[in-house]
A and B are shown apart, each in its own frame.
Chain A
Protein backbone atom coordinates (compact mmCIF):
# COMPACT_ATOMS: atom_id res chain seq x y z
CA UNK A 1 0.00 0.00 0.00
CA UNK A 2 2.86 2.38 0.90
CA UNK A 3 4.47 1.58 -2.43
CA UNK A 4 1.20 2.45 -4.18
CA UNK A 5 1.01 5.78 -2.40
CA UNK A 6 4.60 6.51 -3.32
CA UNK A 7 3.92 5.71 -6.98
CA UNK A 8 0.87 8.00 -6.96
CA UNK A 9 2.91 10.81 -5.47
CA UNK A 10 5.57 10.30 -8.10
CA UNK A 11 2.98 10.65 -10.84
CA UNK A 12 1.67 14.00 -9.64
CA UNK A 13 3.82 17.08 -9.39
CA UNK A 14 3.05 20.76 -8.82
CA UNK A 15 3.79 23.24 -11.57
CA UNK A 16 6.23 26.02 -10.89
CA UNK A 17 7.13 28.44 -13.67
CA UNK A 18 4.85 26.81 -16.22
CA UNK A 19 2.69 29.87 -16.92
CA UNK A 20 4.00 33.18 -18.18
CA UNK A 21 1.76 36.24 -17.93
CA UNK A 22 2.70 38.98 -20.40
CA UNK A 23 1.30 42.47 -19.99
CA UNK A 24 2.81 45.26 -22.13
CA UNK A 25 4.73 47.99 -20.33
CA UNK A 26 2.12 50.63 -21.26
CA UNK A 27 -0.83 48.39 -20.40
CA UNK A 28 -3.77 50.03 -18.58
CA UNK A 29 -3.99 46.81 -16.53
CA UNK A 30 -1.31 45.63 -14.13
CA UNK A 31 -0.89 42.21 -12.59
CA UNK A 32 -1.44 42.13 -8.83
CA UNK A 33 -1.13 38.37 -8.36
CA UNK A 34 -1.15 35.09 -10.26
CA UNK A 35 -2.11 32.10 -8.17
CA UNK A 36 -1.54 28.63 -9.64
CA UNK A 37 -3.82 27.03 -7.02
CA UNK A 38 -3.99 23.29 -7.48
CA UNK A 39 -2.30 23.21 -10.88
CA UNK A 40 -0.37 20.00 -11.37
CA UNK A 41 1.07 17.66 -13.96
CA UNK A 42 0.26 13.95 -13.90
CA UNK A 43 0.91 10.85 -15.94
CA UNK A 44 -2.03 9.01 -17.51
CA UNK A 45 -0.66 5.84 -19.06
CA UNK A 46 1.96 6.99 -21.52
CA UNK A 47 0.45 10.46 -21.80
CA UNK A 48 1.17 13.52 -19.75
CA UNK A 49 -1.70 15.62 -18.45
CA UNK A 50 -1.18 19.20 -17.32
CA UNK A 51 -3.98 20.80 -15.30
CA UNK A 52 -3.59 24.53 -14.97
CA UNK A 53 -5.84 26.47 -12.65
CA UNK A 54 -4.72 30.09 -12.73
CA UNK A 55 -6.39 32.84 -10.72
CA UNK A 56 -5.25 36.28 -11.80
CA UNK A 57 -5.94 39.52 -10.01
CA UNK A 58 -5.66 42.51 -12.34
CA UNK A 59 -5.63 46.20 -11.46
CA UNK A 60 -7.20 48.97 -13.53
CA UNK A 61 -4.44 51.57 -13.65
CA UNK A 62 -6.26 53.72 -16.24
CA UNK A 63 -8.49 56.73 -15.52
CA UNK A 64 -11.46 55.04 -17.29
CA UNK A 65 -13.87 52.26 -16.27
CA UNK A 66 -13.10 48.88 -17.82
CA UNK A 67 -16.01 47.08 -19.51
CA UNK A 68 -14.25 44.01 -20.88
CA UNK A 69 -10.93 42.18 -21.08
CA UNK A 70 -9.66 39.45 -23.40
CA UNK A 71 -6.61 37.32 -22.66
CA UNK A 72 -4.95 35.23 -25.37
CA UNK A 73 -3.85 31.81 -24.11
CA UNK A 74 -1.25 30.02 -26.22
CA UNK A 75 0.26 26.58 -25.67
CA UNK A 76 2.33 26.13 -28.78
CA UNK A 77 4.06 22.98 -27.52
CA UNK A 78 0.63 21.35 -27.43
CA UNK A 79 -1.68 21.46 -30.49
CA UNK A 80 0.57 23.74 -32.56
CA UNK A 81 -2.30 25.30 -34.50
CA UNK A 82 -4.49 25.86 -31.48
CA UNK A 83 -5.02 28.89 -29.36
CA UNK A 84 -7.57 29.97 -26.83
CA UNK A 85 -8.99 33.11 -25.31
CA UNK A 86 -10.60 33.94 -22.01
CA UNK A 87 -12.80 37.04 -22.06
CA UNK A 88 -14.60 38.77 -19.24
CA UNK A 89 -17.29 41.09 -20.61
CA UNK A 90 -20.00 42.99 -18.69
CA UNK A 91 -17.48 44.35 -16.20
CA UNK A 92 -17.75 47.63 -14.35
CA UNK A 93 -14.28 48.12 -12.93
CA UNK A 94 -13.54 51.71 -12.00
CA UNK A 95 -10.11 53.35 -11.95
CA UNK A 96 -7.77 51.97 -9.29
CA UNK A 97 -9.98 48.90 -8.70
CA UNK A 98 -8.95 45.23 -8.87
CA UNK A 99 -10.82 42.35 -10.49
CA UNK A 100 -10.26 38.60 -10.86
CA UNK A 101 -9.87 36.49 -14.03
CA UNK A 102 -9.89 32.73 -13.86
CA UNK A 103 -8.17 30.49 -16.45
CA UNK A 104 -8.62 26.71 -16.29
CA UNK A 105 -6.75 24.74 -18.87
CA UNK A 106 -6.01 21.05 -19.44
CA UNK A 107 -3.26 19.97 -21.80
CA UNK A 108 -2.54 16.44 -22.90
CA UNK A 109 0.32 15.10 -24.97
CA UNK A 110 1.89 11.67 -25.40
CA UNK A 111 5.49 12.68 -24.66
CA UNK A 112 7.35 14.45 -21.89
CA UNK A 113 7.32 18.23 -21.84
CA UNK A 114 10.31 20.39 -22.60
CA UNK A 115 11.76 23.21 -20.58
CA UNK A 116 10.24 26.68 -20.36
CA UNK A 117 6.68 27.86 -19.79
CA UNK A 118 3.90 25.58 -21.06
CA UNK A 119 1.40 28.35 -21.44
CA UNK A 120 1.73 32.02 -22.28
CA UNK A 121 -1.10 34.35 -21.32
CA UNK A 122 -1.05 37.66 -23.21
CA UNK A 123 -3.34 40.65 -22.95
CA UNK A 124 -5.21 40.91 -26.26
CA UNK A 125 -7.46 43.82 -25.46
CA UNK A 126 -9.26 46.03 -22.98
CA UNK A 127 -12.56 47.78 -23.75
CA UNK A 128 -13.44 50.90 -21.79
CA UNK A 129 -16.79 52.45 -20.92
CA UNK A 130 -16.51 55.01 -23.74
CA UNK A 131 -15.86 52.17 -26.28
CA UNK A 132 -12.20 53.14 -26.57
CA UNK A 133 -9.83 50.20 -26.80
CA UNK A 134 -6.32 49.18 -25.88
CA UNK A 135 -4.42 46.11 -27.05
CA UNK A 136 -2.80 44.26 -29.95
CA UNK A 137 -6.22 42.86 -31.00
CA UNK A 138 -4.80 39.66 -32.51
CA UNK A 139 -8.10 37.84 -31.97
CA UNK A 140 -10.28 40.71 -33.24
CA UNK A 141 -11.51 41.08 -29.67
CA UNK A 142 -12.17 44.80 -30.14
CA UNK A 143 -15.15 44.01 -32.38
CA UNK A 144 -16.28 41.09 -30.21
CA UNK A 145 -16.19 43.07 -26.98
CA UNK A 146 -17.82 46.09 -28.64
CA UNK A 147 -20.68 43.86 -29.82
CA UNK A 148 -21.05 42.36 -26.31
CA UNK A 149 -21.14 45.85 -24.80
CA UNK A 150 -23.80 46.93 -27.31
CA UNK A 151 -25.82 43.82 -26.48
CA UNK A 152 -25.42 44.68 -22.79
CA UNK A 153 -26.75 48.21 -23.37
CA UNK A 154 -29.62 46.81 -25.45
CA UNK A 155 -30.64 44.20 -22.86
CA UNK A 156 -30.23 46.49 -19.84
CA UNK A 157 -32.41 49.06 -21.61
CA UNK A 158 -35.05 46.38 -22.23
CA UNK A 159 -35.18 45.22 -18.60
CA UNK A 160 -35.03 48.80 -17.30
CA UNK A 161 -38.01 49.74 -19.48
CA UNK A 162 -39.96 46.80 -18.04
CA UNK A 163 -39.00 47.85 -14.51
CA UNK A 164 -40.14 51.41 -15.25
CA UNK A 165 -43.43 50.46 -16.89
CA UNK A 166 -44.48 47.31 -14.97
CA UNK A 167 -42.57 47.53 -11.71
CA UNK A 168 -40.88 44.76 -9.78
CA UNK A 169 -43.57 42.20 -10.64
CA UNK A 170 -43.14 42.90 -14.34
CA UNK A 171 -39.37 42.52 -13.99
CA UNK A 172 -39.84 39.20 -12.18
CA UNK A 173 -42.13 38.01 -14.97
CA UNK A 174 -39.61 39.05 -17.67
CA UNK A 175 -36.79 37.26 -15.81
CA UNK A 176 -38.86 34.09 -15.43
CA UNK A 177 -39.55 34.21 -19.17
CA UNK A 178 -35.81 34.53 -19.86
CA UNK A 179 -34.99 31.65 -17.51
CA UNK A 180 -37.67 29.45 -19.08
CA UNK A 181 -36.47 30.33 -22.57
CA UNK A 182 -32.93 29.30 -21.70
CA UNK A 183 -34.05 26.10 -19.97
CA UNK A 184 -36.10 25.09 -23.02
CA UNK A 185 -33.62 26.26 -25.67
CA UNK A 186 -32.91 23.31 -27.95
CA UNK A 187 -29.24 22.38 -27.75
CA UNK A 188 -27.17 20.82 -30.45
CA UNK A 189 -23.74 19.23 -30.11
CA UNK A 190 -21.49 20.55 -32.84
CA UNK A 191 -18.01 19.37 -33.84
CA UNK A 192 -15.95 21.71 -35.95
CA UNK A 193 -12.94 21.07 -38.12
CA UNK A 194 -11.22 22.88 -40.92
CA UNK A 195 -11.51 21.02 -44.21
CA UNK A 196 -12.92 17.49 -44.34
CA UNK A 197 -12.13 15.71 -41.10
CA UNK A 198 -14.93 15.48 -38.57
CA UNK A 199 -16.79 12.36 -39.58
CA UNK A 200 -17.03 9.88 -42.36
CA UNK A 201 -19.94 10.87 -44.53
CA UNK A 202 -21.82 7.74 -45.52
CA UNK A 203 -24.60 9.71 -47.21
CA UNK A 204 -24.05 11.40 -50.56
CA UNK A 205 -23.63 15.17 -50.23
CA UNK A 206 -25.96 17.64 -51.88
CA UNK A 207 -26.14 21.44 -51.98
CA UNK A 208 -28.74 22.71 -49.53
CA UNK A 209 -30.07 26.24 -50.03
CA UNK A 210 -30.34 28.71 -47.17
CA UNK A 211 -33.61 30.46 -46.43
CA UNK A 212 -33.04 33.93 -44.96
CA UNK A 213 -34.53 36.07 -42.24
CA UNK A 214 -34.44 39.81 -42.89
CA UNK A 215 -34.30 42.39 -40.11
CA UNK A 216 -35.71 45.87 -40.74
CA UNK A 217 -32.93 48.44 -40.73
CA UNK A 218 -30.10 45.93 -41.14
CA UNK A 219 -27.18 47.49 -43.09
CA UNK A 220 -26.41 44.19 -44.85
CA UNK A 221 -28.82 41.64 -46.30
CA UNK A 222 -28.19 38.02 -47.29
CA UNK A 223 -29.02 37.39 -50.93
CA UNK A 224 -28.26 33.75 -51.68
CA UNK A 225 -26.44 30.89 -50.01
CA UNK A 226 -25.90 27.17 -49.77
CA UNK A 227 -23.77 24.52 -48.07
CA UNK A 228 -22.87 20.91 -48.84
CA UNK A 229 -24.99 18.65 -46.65
CA UNK A 230 -24.76 14.90 -46.13
CA UNK A 231 -26.84 13.44 -43.33
CA UNK A 232 -25.77 15.17 -40.14
CA UNK A 233 -22.74 16.91 -41.67
CA UNK A 234 -22.53 20.28 -43.35
CA UNK A 235 -19.55 21.69 -45.20
CA UNK A 236 -18.29 24.86 -46.79
CA UNK A 237 -21.11 27.39 -46.29
CA UNK A 238 -21.19 30.07 -48.96
CA UNK A 239 -23.45 33.08 -48.54
CA UNK A 240 -23.73 36.16 -50.77
CA UNK A 241 -24.44 39.38 -48.92
CA UNK A 242 -25.27 42.88 -50.13
CA UNK A 243 -24.27 46.10 -48.37
CA UNK A 244 -27.41 48.26 -48.17
CA UNK A 245 -25.68 51.06 -46.31
CA UNK A 246 -23.62 53.99 -47.54
CA UNK A 247 -20.53 52.92 -45.59
CA UNK A 248 -17.92 50.24 -46.36
CA UNK A 249 -18.21 47.09 -44.26
CA UNK A 250 -15.22 45.04 -43.05
CA UNK A 251 -16.94 42.24 -41.12
CA UNK A 252 -20.24 40.38 -41.47
CA UNK A 253 -21.43 37.50 -39.32
CA UNK A 254 -24.25 35.26 -40.48
CA UNK A 255 -26.19 33.22 -37.92
CA UNK A 256 -26.76 29.67 -39.19
CA UNK A 257 -29.83 27.78 -38.00
CA UNK A 258 -30.49 24.17 -38.97
CA UNK A 259 -33.78 22.34 -38.59
CA UNK A 260 -34.22 18.59 -38.25
CA UNK A 261 -36.88 16.40 -39.84
CA UNK A 262 -39.20 16.97 -36.86
CA UNK A 263 -39.06 20.73 -37.46
CA UNK A 264 -36.92 21.58 -34.40
CA UNK A 265 -34.65 24.56 -35.00
CA UNK A 266 -31.12 24.83 -33.55
CA UNK A 267 -28.38 27.42 -33.73
CA UNK A 268 -25.67 25.55 -35.60
CA UNK A 269 -22.90 28.12 -35.88
CA UNK A 270 -22.02 31.62 -36.90
CA UNK A 271 -20.42 32.16 -40.29
CA UNK A 272 -18.09 35.15 -40.20
CA UNK A 273 -16.44 36.93 -43.10
CA UNK A 274 -13.58 39.38 -42.81
CA UNK A 275 -9.97 39.84 -43.85
CA UNK A 276 -8.31 41.06 -47.02
CA UNK A 277 -10.40 38.88 -49.34
CA UNK A 278 -13.65 40.25 -47.99
CA UNK A 279 -14.46 43.65 -49.40
CA UNK A 280 -17.98 45.00 -49.07
CA UNK A 281 -18.17 48.53 -50.35
CA UNK A 282 -21.36 50.57 -50.12
CA UNK A 283 -24.02 49.02 -52.36
CA UNK A 284 -21.84 46.09 -53.41
CA UNK A 285 -22.26 42.33 -53.06
CA UNK A 286 -19.66 39.92 -51.73
CA UNK A 287 -19.41 36.31 -50.61
CA UNK A 288 -19.09 34.94 -47.07
CA UNK A 289 -17.39 31.56 -47.26
CA UNK A 290 -15.66 29.19 -44.88
CA UNK A 291 -13.73 26.03 -45.67
CA UNK A 292 -15.00 24.13 -42.70
CA UNK A 293 -16.94 21.05 -41.71
CA UNK A 294 -19.53 20.74 -38.97
CA UNK A 295 -21.15 17.61 -37.59
CA UNK A 296 -24.37 17.85 -35.61
CA UNK A 297 -25.64 15.46 -32.98
CA UNK A 298 -28.09 15.49 -30.13
CA UNK A 299 -28.33 13.08 -27.18
CA UNK A 300 -25.59 10.99 -28.77
CA UNK A 301 -27.45 10.48 -32.06
CA UNK A 302 -26.93 12.25 -35.38
CA UNK A 303 -29.26 15.09 -36.37
CA UNK A 304 -30.28 14.90 -40.01
CA UNK A 305 -30.38 18.33 -41.55
CA UNK A 306 -33.72 19.04 -43.20
CA UNK A 307 -33.41 22.79 -43.68
CA UNK A 308 -31.13 25.78 -43.12
CA UNK A 309 -31.88 29.39 -42.27
CA UNK A 310 -29.48 32.33 -42.13
CA UNK A 311 -29.67 35.86 -40.75
CA UNK A 312 -27.26 38.76 -40.35
CA UNK A 313 -26.16 38.68 -36.72
CA UNK A 314 -23.43 41.32 -36.69
CA UNK A 315 -21.86 43.92 -38.97
CA UNK A 316 -18.71 45.98 -38.43
CA UNK A 317 -18.16 49.03 -40.58
CA UNK A 318 -14.72 50.14 -41.74
CA UNK A 319 -14.73 52.92 -39.12
CA UNK A 320 -14.99 50.34 -36.31
CA UNK A 321 -18.64 50.92 -35.41
CA UNK A 322 -20.74 47.80 -34.97
CA UNK A 323 -24.38 46.98 -35.79
CA UNK A 324 -26.36 44.28 -33.98
CA UNK A 325 -30.07 43.38 -34.36
CA UNK A 326 -32.39 44.93 -31.80
CA UNK A 327 -34.39 42.85 -29.33
CA UNK A 328 -37.72 43.43 -31.07
CA UNK A 329 -36.32 42.11 -34.37
CA UNK A 330 -35.02 38.97 -32.65
CA UNK A 331 -38.36 38.44 -30.89
CA UNK A 332 -40.34 38.94 -34.12
CA UNK A 333 -38.15 36.40 -35.92
CA UNK A 334 -38.69 33.96 -33.01
CA UNK A 335 -34.93 33.85 -32.45
CA UNK A 336 -34.85 34.67 -28.73
CA UNK A 337 -35.64 31.05 -27.92
CA UNK A 338 -32.91 29.74 -30.24
CA UNK A 339 -29.97 32.07 -29.68
CA UNK A 340 -27.94 31.99 -26.47
CA UNK A 341 -28.50 35.00 -24.21
CA UNK A 342 -26.08 37.90 -24.34
CA UNK A 343 -23.38 37.81 -21.64
CA UNK A 344 -25.17 40.66 -19.83
CA UNK A 345 -28.55 38.88 -19.86
CA UNK A 346 -26.76 35.76 -18.57
CA UNK A 347 -25.28 37.82 -15.73
CA UNK A 348 -28.61 39.45 -14.89
CA UNK A 349 -30.37 36.06 -14.84
CA UNK A 350 -27.71 34.73 -12.49
CA UNK A 351 -28.12 37.75 -10.23
CA UNK A 352 -31.91 37.30 -10.16
CA UNK A 353 -31.58 33.59 -9.39
CA UNK A 354 -29.12 34.10 -6.55
CA UNK A 355 -30.28 37.37 -4.99
CA UNK A 356 -33.86 37.97 -6.12
CA UNK A 357 -35.73 40.72 -7.98
CA UNK A 358 -34.87 43.63 -5.69
CA UNK A 359 -31.11 43.05 -6.14
CA UNK A 360 -31.67 42.92 -9.90
CA UNK A 361 -33.63 46.17 -9.84
CA UNK A 362 -30.85 47.82 -7.80
CA UNK A 363 -28.28 46.59 -10.32
CA UNK A 364 -30.30 47.95 -13.26
CA UNK A 365 -30.65 51.32 -11.54
CA UNK A 366 -26.87 51.60 -11.05
CA UNK A 367 -26.19 52.77 -14.61
Chain B
Protein backbone atom coordinates (compact mmCIF):
# COMPACT_ATOMS: atom_id res chain seq x y z
CA UNK B 1 0.00 0.00 0.00
CA UNK B 2 1.37 3.43 -0.95
CA UNK B 3 0.87 5.98 1.80
CA UNK B 4 0.38 9.73 1.23
CA UNK B 5 3.43 11.75 2.23
CA UNK B 6 3.39 13.51 5.65
CA UNK B 7 2.81 16.97 4.12
CA UNK B 8 -0.37 15.72 2.44
CA UNK B 9 -1.58 14.26 5.75
CA UNK B 10 -0.77 17.51 7.54
CA UNK B 11 -2.72 19.52 4.93
CA UNK B 12 -5.59 17.05 5.21
CA UNK B 13 -5.62 17.43 9.03
CA UNK B 14 -5.78 21.20 8.59
CA UNK B 15 -8.52 20.89 5.88
CA UNK B 16 -6.24 22.67 3.44
CA UNK B 17 -6.21 20.13 0.60
CA UNK B 18 -7.89 20.67 -2.76
CA UNK B 19 -11.07 18.67 -3.36
CA UNK B 20 -9.51 15.94 -5.46
CA UNK B 21 -6.52 15.40 -3.17
CA UNK B 22 -8.86 15.50 -0.19
CA UNK B 23 -11.10 12.84 -1.74
CA UNK B 24 -8.14 10.66 -2.62
CA UNK B 25 -6.60 11.00 0.88
CA UNK B 26 -9.95 10.29 2.56
CA UNK B 27 -10.23 7.07 0.53
CA UNK B 28 -6.79 6.01 1.72
CA UNK B 29 -7.52 6.92 5.34
CA UNK B 30 -10.66 4.82 5.33
CA UNK B 31 -8.52 1.69 5.08
CA UNK B 32 -5.22 2.72 6.74
CA UNK B 33 -5.12 3.08 10.50
CA UNK B 34 -1.46 4.16 10.49
CA UNK B 35 -2.22 7.23 8.40
CA UNK B 36 -5.36 7.95 10.44
CA UNK B 37 -3.11 8.02 13.52
CA UNK B 38 -0.78 10.40 11.69
CA UNK B 39 -3.66 12.72 10.82
CA UNK B 40 -4.84 12.53 14.43
CA UNK B 41 -1.33 13.46 15.58
CA UNK B 42 -1.31 16.50 13.26
CA UNK B 43 -4.74 17.49 14.53
CA UNK B 44 -3.48 17.17 18.11
CA UNK B 45 -0.64 19.55 17.28
CA UNK B 46 -3.11 22.17 16.10
CA UNK B 47 -5.05 21.55 19.32
CA UNK B 48 -1.87 22.18 21.22
CA UNK B 49 -1.77 25.64 19.67
CA UNK B 50 -4.86 26.67 21.63
CA UNK B 51 -2.79 27.73 24.64
CA UNK B 52 -0.92 30.17 22.39
CA UNK B 53 -4.06 32.25 22.45
CA UNK B 54 -3.09 32.99 26.01
CA UNK B 55 -0.22 35.25 24.89
CA UNK B 56 -0.20 38.61 26.62
CA UNK B 57 -1.45 41.52 24.47
CA UNK B 58 1.26 43.15 22.32
CA UNK B 59 1.45 46.88 21.86
CA UNK B 60 1.57 46.89 18.05
CA UNK B 61 1.70 50.65 17.75
CA UNK B 62 4.74 50.79 20.05
CA UNK B 63 6.38 47.94 18.12
CA UNK B 64 5.72 49.74 14.82
CA UNK B 65 7.20 52.96 16.19
CA UNK B 66 10.36 51.11 17.28
CA UNK B 67 10.69 49.46 13.88
CA UNK B 68 10.25 52.80 12.09
CA UNK B 69 12.92 54.33 14.35
CA UNK B 70 15.32 51.48 13.57
CA UNK B 71 14.72 51.81 9.82
CA UNK B 72 15.39 55.54 9.99
CA UNK B 73 18.56 54.87 11.96
CA UNK B 74 19.71 52.42 9.29
CA UNK B 75 18.97 54.84 6.47
CA UNK B 76 20.84 57.63 8.25
CA UNK B 77 23.85 55.34 8.80
CA UNK B 78 23.76 54.39 5.11
CA UNK B 79 23.80 58.05 4.12
CA UNK B 80 26.90 58.62 6.30
CA UNK B 81 28.77 55.74 4.64
CA UNK B 82 27.77 56.93 1.15
CA UNK B 83 29.07 60.40 1.98
CA UNK B 84 32.46 58.96 3.00
CA UNK B 85 32.65 56.86 -0.17
CA UNK B 86 32.17 59.95 -2.38
CA UNK B 87 35.40 60.72 -4.20
CA UNK B 88 36.77 57.20 -3.94
CA UNK B 89 37.67 55.86 -7.42
CA UNK B 90 34.98 53.35 -8.47
CA UNK B 91 36.42 49.86 -8.58
CA UNK B 92 34.58 46.54 -8.58
CA UNK B 93 37.34 44.72 -6.65
CA UNK B 94 38.18 47.30 -4.01
CA UNK B 95 40.24 46.25 -0.97
CA UNK B 96 37.24 46.39 1.37
CA UNK B 97 35.19 44.14 -0.88
CA UNK B 98 38.06 41.67 -1.23
CA UNK B 99 38.41 41.62 2.54
CA UNK B 100 34.66 41.01 2.95
CA UNK B 101 34.74 38.17 0.41
CA UNK B 102 37.75 36.60 2.13
CA UNK B 103 36.08 36.88 5.55
CA UNK B 104 32.92 35.29 4.15
CA UNK B 105 34.90 32.37 2.73
CA UNK B 106 36.69 31.85 6.05
CA UNK B 107 33.33 31.97 7.87
CA UNK B 108 31.91 29.42 5.41
CA UNK B 109 34.83 27.03 5.92
CA UNK B 110 34.64 27.49 9.70
CA UNK B 111 30.89 26.78 9.66
CA UNK B 112 31.47 23.67 7.57
CA UNK B 113 34.12 22.41 9.96
CA UNK B 114 31.85 23.17 12.93
CA UNK B 115 28.91 21.32 11.43
CA UNK B 116 31.03 18.35 10.41
CA UNK B 117 32.88 18.11 13.73
CA UNK B 118 33.00 14.61 15.17
CA UNK B 119 30.10 14.10 17.59
CA UNK B 120 30.49 11.38 20.22
CA UNK B 121 28.06 8.58 19.50
CA UNK B 122 26.42 6.31 22.01
CA UNK B 123 28.18 2.95 21.99
CA UNK B 124 26.33 0.33 19.97
CA UNK B 125 24.22 -2.23 21.74
CA UNK B 126 26.23 -5.35 22.35
CA UNK B 127 24.38 -8.16 20.61
CA UNK B 128 25.56 -10.97 22.84
CA UNK B 129 22.15 -12.57 23.09
CA UNK B 130 21.20 -10.77 26.30
CA UNK B 131 17.77 -9.21 26.48
CA UNK B 132 17.80 -5.42 26.13
CA UNK B 133 14.89 -3.05 26.70
CA UNK B 134 14.70 0.33 25.03
CA UNK B 135 12.24 2.99 23.98
CA UNK B 136 11.77 3.39 20.23
CA UNK B 137 9.94 6.04 18.21
CA UNK B 138 6.60 4.28 18.55
CA UNK B 139 6.87 2.00 21.56
CA UNK B 140 9.01 -0.09 23.87
CA UNK B 141 11.09 -2.88 22.41
CA UNK B 142 12.46 -5.96 24.12
CA UNK B 143 15.12 -7.54 21.92
CA UNK B 144 16.75 -10.88 22.65
CA UNK B 145 18.94 -12.45 20.02
CA UNK B 146 17.02 -12.28 16.74
CA UNK B 147 13.61 -12.02 18.40
CA UNK B 148 11.79 -8.99 19.63
CA UNK B 149 8.57 -7.96 21.32
CA UNK B 150 7.38 -4.36 21.01
CA UNK B 151 4.44 -2.83 22.81
CA UNK B 152 3.41 0.07 20.59
CA UNK B 153 1.52 3.23 21.35
CA UNK B 154 -0.56 5.37 19.04
CA UNK B 155 1.40 8.21 17.49
CA UNK B 156 1.36 11.15 19.84
CA UNK B 157 3.89 13.74 20.92
CA UNK B 158 3.14 13.36 24.61
CA UNK B 159 4.55 10.00 25.63
CA UNK B 160 6.39 9.77 28.93
CA UNK B 161 8.96 7.02 29.27
CA UNK B 162 10.48 5.72 32.47
CA UNK B 163 12.79 2.84 33.25
CA UNK B 164 12.79 0.44 36.18
CA UNK B 165 16.09 -0.89 37.41
CA UNK B 166 14.51 -4.29 38.05
CA UNK B 167 14.36 -4.62 34.24
CA UNK B 168 11.32 -2.78 32.96
CA UNK B 169 10.36 0.13 30.73
CA UNK B 170 7.13 2.13 30.86
CA UNK B 171 5.38 4.41 28.38
CA UNK B 172 2.39 6.52 29.38
CA UNK B 173 0.17 8.42 26.95
CA UNK B 174 -3.39 9.43 26.24
CA UNK B 175 -4.85 7.09 23.63
CA UNK B 176 -6.49 9.34 21.06
CA UNK B 177 -8.85 6.54 20.01
CA UNK B 178 -10.18 5.67 23.46
CA UNK B 179 -9.46 8.98 25.23
CA UNK B 180 -8.04 7.02 28.18
CA UNK B 181 -4.59 7.26 29.70
CA UNK B 182 -2.84 4.05 28.77
CA UNK B 183 0.34 2.77 30.37
CA UNK B 184 2.42 0.13 28.63
CA UNK B 185 5.05 -1.83 30.56
CA UNK B 186 7.52 -4.31 29.13
CA UNK B 187 9.57 -6.49 31.46
CA UNK B 188 12.77 -8.42 30.98
CA UNK B 189 13.61 -11.31 33.28
Which A positions have Cβ atoms within 8 angstroms of B?
A: 37-38, 47, 53, 55, 73, 75, 78-91, 99-110, 139, 148, 172, 175-176, 179, 182, 187, 189-195, 197-200, 202, 232, 237, 256, 267-272, 290, 292, 294-295, 297, 300-302, 340-341, 343-344, 346-347, 349-350, 353-354, 356
Alpha-carbon gap, A85 to B153, bound state (A): 12
Looking at A73, A78, A350, which has the most chain B CB atoms within 10 Å of its CB? A350
Residues B163 and A82 in contact, CB atoms below 8 Å apart: no
Residue in A108, A192, A272 whose beta carbon sits within 8 Å of that of B147 in the complex: A108
| Residues of B close to A79: CB separation below 8 A | 131, 142-144, 147-149
* Interface presence of B86 (CB below 8 A): no
Given A79-B147, A81-B188, A341-B160, answer yes or no on A272-B181 (Cβ-Cβ < 8 Å). no
* Interface presence of B95 (CB below 8 A): no
> Contact residue range for chain B?
35 or more
| Residues of B close to A350: CB separation below 8 A | 158, 174
What is the minimal beta-carbon distance from A365 to any residue of chain B, in angstroms?
Answer: 19
Residues A191 and B132 in contact, CB atoms below 8 Å apart: yes
* Interface presence of B8 (CB below 8 A): no
Which B positions have Cβ atoms within 8 angstroms of A?
A: 33, 44, 47-48, 50-51, 54, 119-126, 128, 130-135, 139-140, 142-144, 146-154, 158, 160-169, 172-175, 177-178, 180-189
Residues A199 and B125 in contact, CB atoms below 8 Å apart: yes
Given A90-B181, A192-B133, A192-B168, answer yes or no on A301-B122 (Cβ-Cβ < 8 Å). yes
Q: A89-B181, A297-B122, A340-B161 are in contact. List 18 more A-B contacts (CB 8 A).
A: A47-B146, A78-B147, A79-B142, A81-B131, A81-B144, A100-B178, A179-B51, A190-B135, A192-B134, A192-B165, A197-B128, A197-B131, A200-B123, A256-B165, A268-B163, A290-B165, A353-B51, A356-B50
Given A199-B126, A346-B158, answer yes or no on A107-B167 (Cβ-Cβ < 8 Å). no
Residues A272 and B186 in contact, CB atoms below 8 Å apart: no
Residues B152 and A190 in contact, CB atoms below 8 Å apart: no
| Residues of B close to A89: CB separation below 8 A | 181, 183
Residue contacts A-B, CB under 8 angstroms, 21 given? A78-B149, A79-B149, A81-B144, A82-B149, A84-B149, A99-B180, A104-B153, A106-B148, A107-B148, A108-B147, A110-B146, A190-B134, A197-B130, A197-B131, A198-B132, A232-B123, A269-B163, A269-B165, A340-B162, A346-B160, A346-B174
Residues A86 and B182 in contact, CB atoms below 8 Å apart: yes
Given A176-B54, A301-B120, A343-B181, answer yes or no on A194-B188 (Cβ-Cβ < 8 Å). yes
Nearest A residue to B147 via CB reads: A109
| Residues of B close to A83: CB separation below 8 A | 186-187, 189
What is the minimal beta-carbon distance from A342 to any residue of chain B, in angstroms?
Answer: 9
Residue in B33, B124, B130 whose beta carbon sits within 8 Å of that of A195 in the complex: B130
Looking at B119, B124, B158, which has the most chain A CB atoms within 10 Å of its CB? B158
Residue in B147, B161, B172, B187 whose beta carbon sits within 8 Å of that of A346 in the complex: B172
| Residues of B close to A106: CB separation below 8 A | 139, 148-150, 152
Nearest B residue to A233 via CB reads: B123
Nearest A residue to B120 via CB reads: A301
| Residues of B close to A80: CB separation below 8 A | 144
| Residues of A close to B147: CB separation below 8 A | 78-79, 107-110
Residues B122 and A300 in contact, CB atoms below 8 Å apart: yes
Residues A193 and B132 in contact, CB atoms below 8 Å apart: yes
